[in-house]
Structures are given as structure tokens and as C-alpha cells.
Chain A
Amino acid sequence: MPVHKFDDEVKTYMTKAFESVKNLEGTDGCEFVIAGSDESVIPTQELYNEVGVGLDLTVVTDSNTDFFTLVNKAVYQCSTPYFSVIEFDDVYNPKWLVNFNEYSEEYEASAYLPITQLVNAENGNFAGFVNEIVWASSFANEYGFIDLDCLEYYRDFNLTGAFIKTEDFINVGGLKPSLSIASWYEFIMRLCFNEKKAYVIPKTGYFHTVGRKGSYMVETAESVTQEYGAWLIDTATKEYQYKEEREIKYVPNENKEENKDVEGK
């Protein structure tokens, strides 16, 4: 769980998130990692203990509270073969781990995504599904599997909640924080590019809160202009072929001719 801040609102959501981890069936052998700044991990850890989640806990601190940086750092601390990222305002379905175990026995992949239910932060109502599209006829080359073909024209996959093979995540290079809102999209393309599979388990495994004011994604999305957002997506479609994060400078539209300054790291 990456934590970029802690306040009363966060505490309310986080309590539910921790309870959902506690209610997960089949957590023998599982561990929990909290990643964040010093200011946020201490109260988070206290809350974790208060809820009584019960899994072995590792705490990772970093002054850089960027979501994707924290995820990378947390994964490097993982000793388990798979990991799953839970945002503090989301919850797991109690059966999600059991379903992951069942489906991963049969269908080989590096990442197992749940069908995620979007939950409206304002009223708690159902706001749609995510990741379900690979089960529609004529979408994917193989039902349930995400590949580069479908990523070419569809990018709205949500990887929080997914179980990802730790070794493969590290070997393909982890997330690229510089790509901001396009990081997960670029990662999954890179995974597929490296001939790793991503499979969507046809079960509701995760409930993702959307539209919460003050959330990392909302704040980030608000700070990203439409043009910059399009540039991020476009860059992602080029960068997935590179394992390392390359420094790519974005130059706003009026200087478009100069917007190709790339330095390899």
C-alpha cells in the first residue's frame, strides 16, 4: 500500500482497506508492505496494528511520495512470488486471493487482473467495471488475455488489485514514474512486449474508488493538461520497448518542433 499522506479522511478509507485485507480468504504466507514518507507510514502502521490485519508487516520509507516510485520501492522489498497493490481508498473482495490461486493454477500469466468495480466516492454507488473488456467477444485474440494488439487501441486497464509476478515485474523494469498517469499502461505494454502474459480473472476482485477529491489520481489528473496527457500516452506507446526509464522532456505545443530531446540514461 503506497501512502502519500495521512489525515482523517485517509484514515476512514484506509481502515476499510485494511479490513478488506484482513477479510481476504487464504492469506497464509502473505505479507504486507506499507510504503510512504516518514510522516505517513507511522500513523499508517499504527492503524494497521489497530485493525489487526495480522500479516507480517514491512515498512518502506521514501521522501519521494510519488505513487509509482513507492510501488517500485515496495516491490523490491517483496519476498513473495506475487504482489498486489492496494490503494488506501480501495478494498478487496474477500474471495479475490482464492480466485487468484484457482485461476493462476490453470491459466499461465505474469499478471492476473481482477474485474474491478468502480465505486463513486460521493455516494458509494456502482460506477462501472474495469478490465472486463477482454471477455467481450471479438476484443482480445484470446478470451481473458491482454496483448499488444488490444493495448494498441484500448488502455483503460487498472492494475491496482492485480497479482503480479514479482520476478517479472523487476525483470521487465518496474514502473516508470516519469510517465505519471500513463505508467501502468506503459508497464503492461512492456510486460506484453517481453512476451509475458496478462490475464483478467472473470471475478470481481477489487473495488476502486473514483472521483474522490484529494486522491492522488484526481490531483494528478487535474494537474495534467489535455495536451500533456495525450503526450504521456503517446510516449508510453514508444517507451514500452525500453526496460530503463529514459529521460524524455515534454515541451508544450508551441515549441513542438523541439519536442524530441531524448537522453538515454
Chain B
Amino acid sequence: MAKDKNKKKKTIVPEAEVSKKELSPREMLETAVDNLNKEMEKLETNKFKFYFFVIDTKGAPNGSLTYIYETAMHLKNKGYDVAMLHSEKEFIGVGSWLGEEYAKLRHFNIENDGVRISPSDFLIIPELYSNVMYQTKKLPCKRIALLQNYNYLTEIIQPGASWGDYGIIDCITTTPKLEKHIKEVFPYLRTNVVRPSIIDKFTYSGKPKKLFINLVTKSQSDTNRIVKEFFWRYPTYKWITFRDIRGLNQDDLASALDEAFATVWVDERTDFGYSALQAMKAGNIVIGKIPEDEPDWMLENGELKDCGVWFYKFNDVYDIISGVVEAFMNDKLPEVLFTNMEDTVKYYDLENQASDIEMVYIDGFVEKRKEEITTALSLAKDKLESMDSENKEEA
């Protein structure tokens, strides 16, 4: 059977039907006022939607994706309508590692499911989706860029293009540092910070720690190098158990972190460092390579904070591991380290994130959208009145 070449590809489309009948200017204005009133009603009765674009990591845990789903879930729990958008033929989703309740959020494939968007809706587009920013330029909804990883932004966007070219002037980011950075390159952006949270699943149960060292690295070769070279340099510690915790689902990850006393963390290009904070929250001493761009939480007054044991040169890690092991075994780990760890992760708890979400999304974007529609309505009504006056005069 021949393909129907005339069959249009389903994608994201405006909700309002465009009438084929030719309307007079007055009729067009009246239709616009009607539509604006409907959209305003949706905003006031919470009938609008938050749409979040997500990637599919095919079952691999991902901090950035967790952030998006946590935001969506929080808004849903507050009574707002949320939906997740993707463009995967076979969408695996987050059920296996984040939890079924997140997987059960409504998901739509924009290629097949034909999503309808209205002016009162909000479309949140991660930095990775420059193409979606471009494709959705003419949609009537409020589009907001979500910036979590600056490297993703520069990897995908076309040289010479900017978010402004795609009509994006609003941005949510996760740290003040990222906010500052994006405003340096896109100064026209209106920016907001919604900090991530380290969910309560990651916690220290209080059980005595076991002599395990977790490893979180961006590449397998780093893991191999750390373990093998450590045993060569410190053969008296050949019995230490190292555990590679990359790729574990959230439950297993939380359990592994709770058990171990230390985590070695190497991720030089991260903008935030979820893994390090998760480890800290579970009471692990983090032995971390300082990323190229230090996350905000790692610094205090411009200096490295004593909430972990940090190193610049890779080869320093071995001596540090040995020192931390000895300190653990002899109960010589400084108390101030644990105090600083607690202070650091406290800033990223669910309560603080919830507060940011409500402030930015509800008190910010939704209220701002109401103002915009109110202004548009007012202008349209003024125009109608002016038309009526003109007609009367003519009569």
C-alpha cells in the first residue's frame, strides 16, 4: 500500500481551530476576546497545562532528568495538570530507576500523539532541545528554556544561533552560577533559579558504616585506573572493596550510599554534581576531583568548602583514599567535615526546591501570563470600543 504522502505528520499544534470562513476585523477581534477570556479562565481555574520535554535515557539514571520529573511531580501534587513530551519511537522512561509513580505521569510522543497547546499552557524545553525551540517558535503558549548543563547547550545549538532567534526570552536554571553564565551570553533573557533537590530516598540511616568505597566516575577507564593503581601503590589495602555505583537504580544506589563510608567522585564537566551531594546526604566522605567549573555548593567565599576531600590532579587521589581509609579506621575523621556536609545538602532539600518551584512557576510564570493576557484583553476590548465609536459616528 502506497504511503499517503498528503498525510501530515502529527506534532505540537495550537489548540484553537482556525476558521476557514473569512472574518471581518470586528469578528476577528470578538473571536480574539472570546479566546483570551477562555485562556484567562483556564489560568484562573488551573485548567492550563505544564508540558516538559524529556530525553529518554533508556533506563539509565540521570540527575538532570530527575530534576525535571521532580518538578513535574511537585506541580502535579499541587493540583496542576502536567504532561511529559518526548520524540522516541520506543520510550523506555524512568520507571525502572526513578519509580513507577513518575513513569505514570502522562507522556506524549510529539511525533505520533498530536499534542494541542493553548496560549495558557507552558512549554518547558531543556537546553538540549534547540531544534524544538526552533520548531515551536510560532506556538501561542509560553515557552521557557531549562538550563541545567551548559555543555549540552553548546553541543546542540547551531553556531551563530541563539535562544532569542527562537523567541525564547525566559529561562529557568539550577544555580546562580549558571544563571550568571547564561546572562553573559544571552543578556536579554529573564532568568529564574529553581534549585535541585536531593530526594529523601538518599539518606543516612545511622547504621554503622561498612568498609566500602563507592566509585562514581564519568568513564569506566577512570574507575579502572583508580582501583588498580590504588592497589599497586597501597598493597596493604588490597582488601578494600571498591564498588562502581554508576547505573544503579535509585533504590540500590541509596542502599549502596547508606552502607559505604566514602565515595570517590570524578566528573569534571558537571555543572551541579548530583552524585556528590547524594553521597554526602548518605553520610559518605566525598573524595572528589574538582570540576572544571566548581558548583556553587563547593565554594564558600570563593574558597573550596570543607564538605569533602577535593583534589585537582588525578594522581593525588590515591594518597587521599589511603588517608581517608586510615582516618575512618582510626576514627580520626574531623567532625567539622560532617557538619559541613550536612549544611551543604540541607540547602538542597525538597522543601527548598518546592518553595522555588512555587515561586518561579506559579507566583512567577502563571501570574505573569495572567497579566499578559489581561493586557491583551484590555487592548482588544479598547479596540472593539473604538470600533463601535467609529461606527456610531459614521451612522
Q: How far, in whole Å, are A132 and B212 apart by their CA atoms in the complex?
A: 12
Complex CA distance for A52 and B241, rounded to whole angstroms: 41
Question: Among A93, A102, A133, A137, which residue has its beta carbon within 8 angstroms of that of B208?
Answer: A102
- Considering only residues 123-145 of chain A, those with a C-beta below 8 Å from chain B are 126, 128-129, 132-133, 135-137, 139, 143-144
User: Do B211 and A106 touch (CB < 8 A)?
Assistant: no
B240 touches A93 (CB 8 A): no
CB distance from B243 to the nearest CB of A (A): 8
User: Which of B's residues lie within 8 Å of A, judged by CB?
Assistant: 207-212, 236, 238-241, 328-331
Chain B min CB distance to A202 (Å): 4
Contacts of A99 in B (CB 8 A): 208, 331
Chain A 92-122 per-residue mask, 1 if CB under 8 angstroms from chain B, else 0: 0101001100110111000000010000000
The reply to whether A144 and B210 contact each other, CB–CB distance below 8 Å, is yes
* B330–A136 CB distance below 8 A: no
Known contacts: A129-B236, A204-B329. The answer to whether A103 contacts B241 by CB under 8 A is no
Of A135, A144, A204, the residue contacting B240 (CB under 8 A) is: A135
For residue A109, give the distance in angstroms from its CB to the closest CB of chain B: 13
Residues of B within 8 A of A107 (CB): 208
Closest A residue to B238 by CB, please name it: A136
Chain A residues, CB < 8 A from B209: 202
Whether a CB of chain B sits under 8 angstroms from the CB of A11 is no
Cα–Cα distance between A126 and B331 once the two chains are bound (Å)? 18
- Inter-chain contact B239/A203, CB cutoff 8 Å: no
List 26 interface pairs A-B (beta carbons < 8 Å), by A numbering: A93-B330, A93-B331, A95-B330, A95-B331, A99-B208, A102-B208, A106-B207, A106-B208, A107-B208, A115-B329, A126-B236, A128-B236, A132-B239, A133-B239, A135-B211, A135-B240, A135-B241, A136-B238, A136-B240, A136-B241, A139-B239, A144-B210, A202-B211, A202-B328, A203-B329, A204-B330
The 8 closest A-B pairs by CB, nearest first: A202-B211, A136-B239, A95-B331, A204-B329, A137-B241, A135-B211, A103-B208, A132-B239
A139 — which chain B residues lie within 8 A by C-beta? 239
Question: A126 contacts which chain B residues (CB < 8 A)?
Answer: 236
Q: How far is the CB of B252 from chain A (nearest CB, A)?
A: 16
Which residues on the B side are within 8 Å of A202 (C-beta)?
209-211, 328-329
Find the A residue at minimum CB distance from B209: A202
- Which residue of the partner chain, among B212, B241, B331, contacts A203 with CB atoms under 8 Å? B331
**Other A-B pairs, 6, CB within 8 Å; known A95-B331, A99-B208:** A126-B236, A136-B240, A144-B210, A203-B329, A203-B331, A204-B329
Question: A135 vs B211: C-alpha distance in the bound complex, in angstroms?
Answer: 7
A95 to B333, CA, bound (A): 13
Within 8 A of B (CB), among A74-106: 93, 95, 98-99, 102-103, 105-106
Chain A residue numbers with a CB within 8 Å of B208 are: 99, 102-103, 105-107, 201
User: A134 to chain B: closest CB distance in Å?
Assistant: 9
Name A's B-contacting residues (CB within 8 A): 93, 95, 98-99, 102-103, 105-107, 115, 126, 128-129, 132-133, 135-137, 139, 143-144, 201-204
Q: How far is the CB of A91 from chain B (nearest CB, A)?
A: 13
Q: Which of B207, B209, B211, B241 has the most CB of A within 10 A?
A: B211
- What's the minimum C-beta distance from B330 to chain A, rounded to whole angstroms? 5
Alpha-carbon separation in the docked complex, A259 to B241 (Å): 44
User: Which residue of the partner chain A has the closest CB to B329?
Assistant: A204
Contacts of B331 in A (CB 8 A): 93, 95, 98-99, 203
- Nearest B residue to A25, CB-CB: B331
How close is B357's CB to chain A, nearest CB, in angstroms?
38
In Å, the complex CA distance between A95 and B328 comes to 12
| Bound form: Cα–Cα A139–B240 in Å | 11
Name the CB-closest residue of B to A138.
B241
Report the Cα distance A128→B207, complex, angstroms: 28
- Chain B nearest CB from A136 CB (Å) reads 4
B231 to chain A, nearest CB (A): 11
Residues of A within 8 A of B210 (CB): 135, 143-144, 202
Q: Name the distance in Å between B245's Cβ and chain A's nearest Cβ.
A: 14
| A135 and B239 contacting across the interface, CB-CB below 8 Å | yes
Chain B residues, CB < 8 A from A137: 241
Instruction: Give the docked Cα–Cα distance between A202 and B328 (Å).
Output: 9
Question: Distance in Å from the Cβ of A222 to the closest Cβ of chain B?
Answer: 27
Nearest-Cβ distance from residue B201 to partner chain A, whole angstroms: 21
A178 to chain B, nearest CB (A): 33
Chain A residues with CB below 8 A from B207, complex form: 106
Instruction: Give the shortest distance, in Å, between B208 (CB) and chain A (any CB).
Output: 5
A144 closest partner in B (C-beta): B210
Chain B nearest CB, measured from A201 CB (Å): 8
Q: Complex formed: what's the CA distance from A129 to B240 in Å?
A: 12
A201 CA to B238 CA in the complex, in Å? 17
Q: Which residues of B contact A128 (CB under 8 A)?
A: 236
Chain B proximity of A154: nearest CB distance (Å): 12
Q: Which residue of B lies closest to A204 (CB)?
A: B329
Give the residue among B239, B329, B331 with the most A Cβ atoms within 10 A. Answer: B329
Measured in the bound complex, the distance between the Cα atoms of B259 and A143 in whole Å is: 11
Cβ of A115: which chain B residues have Cβ within 8 Å of it?
329
A184: min CB distance to chain B, Å: 20
Chain A residues positioned under 8 Å from B236 (CB to CB): 126, 128-129
Residue of A nearest to B326 (CB): A204
Closest to B242 in A: A137
| Bound complex: CA A172 to CA B212 (Å) | 33
CA distance A103 to B211 in the complex (A): 13
Q: A203 to B240, alpha carbons, bound, how many Å? A: 13
